[in-house]
Structure 1
Amino acid sequence: MTPILDPEAQRDHAWRNLAHTGLLLGGIGLLLAVSSAMIWGWIGVICTLAAVAILFLTSPRIPPEMVMRLYSAVPVDATRGGQLYDLIQAVSSRAGLERQPQLYVIPSMTLNAFAAGNRDHAAIGITEGLLRRLSLREIAAVLAHEVSHIRNNDLQVMGLADLMSRFTLALSYTGVLLAVLNLFEMMTLGEARVPWVGIALLYLAPTISSLLQLGLSRAREYDADLGSVRLTGDPAGLISALHKLERYTGRFWEDLMFPVPGRRVPQPSVLRSHPSTEDRIARLADLAPTANTPPLVIVERPIVSLVGFGPMSMRPRYRFPGMWY
C-alpha cells in the first residue's frame, strides 16, 4: 500500500496533477486559438483569448444560495441535522478553508452530492436519498470529496474550460457557413478559396474540446478522491460509499436489459465525466490508512427525515424551473 501522506509523494502528485490539468486546459485553449486563426488570423487569436479572459474574470458569479434554492434545498445548521453540521465543520477545518461551506439537504431520493461557489463562498448540496442509504462514515467521505473540489478550485478550473469550449463551439458555426460558401464557389467558379482541411478542423474542434474537457473532469475527480482520503484518513469509507452508489444507481435496470447476460455495454471511458467506479476503487484500495491524519470522531445516531414530506414527495422528477431532482 502507498502511504499517501508521504511529503515527497504529495509534492510529486501535486506537480503531476498540475501538469495534467495544465496540459488539458492548454489543449482546449490551443484548439480555440487555432479555430480563431483559421477565421481571422493572429488578430482573431488575440481578440478571442482576451475576450475569454475578460469574461472569466468579470462574469457575474451565481451565488451558491441561489443554486441551492433552485433545488428547494434546506440549510443544515447546529440545531437541524447537528451531526452533519459537526461533520462539515470538522472536514472544512482540516481542509484549511477560511469559510465553512454551507451544507444543504435536497428533498430528493436521487443519490447525489455537489458543490457550488468558490473557496471564499461555497455551498454543498446532498440529497435525502444519499443520507438515507449511506452511513455517517460514508457521508463523511462524500463531503470530504466535495470539500476537496472547493479547496482545489476545481469549480473555477472547470468553468474556464467550459467557457473556452463554448467559444470553440461558436466558432465552429462559422466553419459550417464557410463549408456552404465553399460549395457555392465550387459550383459557380469551379474552385474553393477556403481549404477544406481548415473547415474540417473548425467542424471537429468542439468535439475534440469536449473530449479534453471530459478528461479534465476525470482528472479533477481522481484528485478529489485523494483529497477526501487526506481529510478523513479513511480510504475504506470512500470505497464503501462508491460501492453503494454503484449498487443503487442503475444496476437493477441493467440486469433487465439486453444483451444477455444483462449488463449494458459500458460507456467508453473517454466519454465519461467521471472515472469508472472500478478505477476509482482500485486507486483508493492502493492507499494505506493515513497514520498522520487522525480519524474523524463519528458518533452515529439515527437521522429522522430532514426535508420533504415522505419518499413519495421526493421521487425524482422535473420540477420548476426545469431542474431534475
Structure 2
Amino acid sequence: MAFASTDGAVAGLRRRHKIGNLVQSLLLLCGMVLMLALCGWILAGADGLVWALVGGGVSLLLSPRLSPRVILGMFGARRLSYADAPRLFETVGAIARRAGLPAPPELWYIASPTLNAFAVGRRRQSAIAVTDGLLRSLDLRELAGVLAHEISHIRNNDLAVMGLADTVTNLTRLMSLFGIALLIVNLPLLVMQPEAMPWLLILLLIAAPWGGALMQLALARTREFDADLDAAHLTGDPEGIATALARIDGLQRGPWEGIRFPGRRAQAIPSLLRTHPHTEERVRRLMELGAGRRTPQPAFPGLDRTPLPLVLPRAVRRPRYRLGGYWY
C-alpha cells in the first residue's frame, strides 16, 4: 500500500510539472505574438497590428520544411543500420511504441567525439542523430534516457513549436528594423514638430526584438524540462536520465578546463541567454520523480550499465572552422 501511495505521489508531481510547463509555454508564445503585434501597432496602428498577424501566419505557412535527411546531410551524418547497433534500434523501437509514434525515428550517426544528440522532423517522418562520443561514453541505460528525451521532443511537436517561435521572433526583428529605419529617415521632421517625441513608443520598438528573443530562449528551456519529464515517464527510469545528463555535463567540461578555469562553463552563459536549463536543475527535477521508489525499474528489460556494443570505428575527426564557428 505504501508503494501505491508513492507511485500516486510521483504521478501527481509529474502532472503538476506538465501543467506548469504547458502554461508557461502558452504564456511565452502569447508574449512573443504580443511583441509582434506591438511592433505592427506602433508602425501603423490597428492596420499594422492586423498586417503583422497576417504576415506571421503567411510566413509560417510558406516557410520551407526541409526533409530530415537534408538537415542531417549538413552535419555529415550517415544512416545507421540494424547491424551497426542492434541494441540501440531495439531500444528506440520500444520507446517509440510507448510514445505512440506511427514509426520509430531513423537513427543517424555523426562521426564526432563530442557528446550530442538531436531530433529532426515530425511525428510521421523523424530522425535522431547521435554522435560517436555519445555512443561510447554512455551505457545502455543512460542512452535509453537520451533517446527517450529526443523522442519526447518529436511526440510533443517541439520542433514545430520552436519553428513557430523562430518565425515570430524574426518577423518582430524585421518590423523593428523597418520602424527604426523610418524613424531615422524622418528624424528631422519629427524634431521640427511642436509635439514631443514619442520616446516610449520608440523604446518599445527598439526593445521588442530583444524581448521576443529572450522569451524564445525561455520557451526552449521549458520544452527541455518537458522532454525530460516525458522521457522519465517513457523509460520508467528518471535516475537513468539524470545520470546521463550529469555524465555528459562532466565529460564536456573536461579535467584540464576544470583546473585552468574552475566553474567557467557553468557561469559563462547567463541563465536568461541559455537554450537549455542548468544541468543541476534538470537533475534535481528528475531525482524528485525517482524519490521513494523501491529500485529503479526501467520499462524495458536489458537496460543496464554495460556499454553499447559497436562495430563502428572510433571517430577522430577534429573540428575546423565553418560559417558560424567551429564544428566537426
TM-score by length of 1: 0.88
Work out the CA distance in 2 between the residues paired with 1:124 and 1:302.
17
Structure 1 unaligned residues grouped into runs of 5+: none
SS in 2 for 1:105: strand
Offset of residue 119 of structure 1:
1.0
1:39-188 equivalence runs, <5 A: 39-181=43-185, 183-185=187-189
- Cα distance, 1:323–1:75 mapped onto 2, change above 3 Å: farther
Letter in 2 for 1:252: P
1:288-303 equivalence runs, <5 A: 288=290, 289=293, 295-298=299-302, 300=306, 303=309
Aligned pairs, number: 318
1:16 aligns with 2:20: yes
* Equivalent of 2:199 in 196, 200, 214: 196
SS in 2 for 1:138: helix
Structure 2 unaligned residues grouped into runs of 5+: none
Offset of residue 324 of structure 1:
2.1
Work out the CA distance in 2 between the residues paired with 1:65 and 1:191.
60
Letter in 2 for 1:214: L
Offset of residue 247 of structure 1:
0.8
Offset of residue 31 of structure 1:
0.4
TM-score by length of 2: 0.87
Offset of residue 91 of structure 1:
0.8
- Cα distance, 1:68–1:180 mapped onto 2, change above 3 Å: same
Offset of residue 176 of structure 1:
2.2
- Cα distance, 1:256–1:13 mapped onto 2, change above 3 Å: closer
Q: Please tell me whether the aligned partners of residues 249 and 279 of structure 2 are also in contact (alpha carbons under 8 angstroms).
A: yes
1:246 aligns with 2:249: yes
SS in 2 for 1:33: helix
Structure ranking higher in helix proportion: 2
Q: Please tell me whether the aligned partners of residues 185 and 192 of structure 1 are also in contact (alpha carbons under 8 angstroms).
A: no
1:32 aligns with 2:36: yes
Letter in 2 for 1:88: V
- The residue number in structure 1 matching 2:231 is 228
Offset of residue 24 of structure 1:
0.3
- Cα distance, 1:290–1:78 mapped onto 2, change above 3 Å: farther
Work out the CA distance in 2 between the residues paired with 1:270 and 1:119.
30
Q: Please tell me whether the aligned partners of residues 4 and 10 of structure 1 are also in contact (alpha carbons under 8 angstroms).
A: no
Q: Please tell me whether the aligned partners of residues 124 and 146 of structure 1 are also in contact (alpha carbons under 8 angstroms).
A: yes
* Equivalent of 1:270 in 272, 280, 294: 272
Q: Please tell me whether the aligned partners of residues 2 and 286 of structure 1 are also in contact (alpha carbons under 8 angstroms).
A: no
- The residue number in structure 2 matching 1:285 is 287
Alpha-carbon displacement from aligned partner over 1:159-206 (angstroms, at most 9, x marks no partner): 10000000001011123214423542356x265776122111111111
Q: Please tell me whether the aligned partners of residues 111 and 315 of structure 2 are also in contact (alpha carbons under 8 angstroms).
A: no
Q: Please tell me whether the aligned partners of residues 76 and 85 of structure 1 are also in contact (alpha carbons under 8 angstroms).
A: no
RMSD: 2.8
- Cα distance, 1:169–1:119 mapped onto 2, change above 3 Å: same
Offset of residue 76 of structure 1:
2.2
- Cα distance, 1:292–1:136 mapped onto 2, change above 3 Å: closer
Work out the CA distance in 2 between the residues paired with 1:182 and 1:114.
47
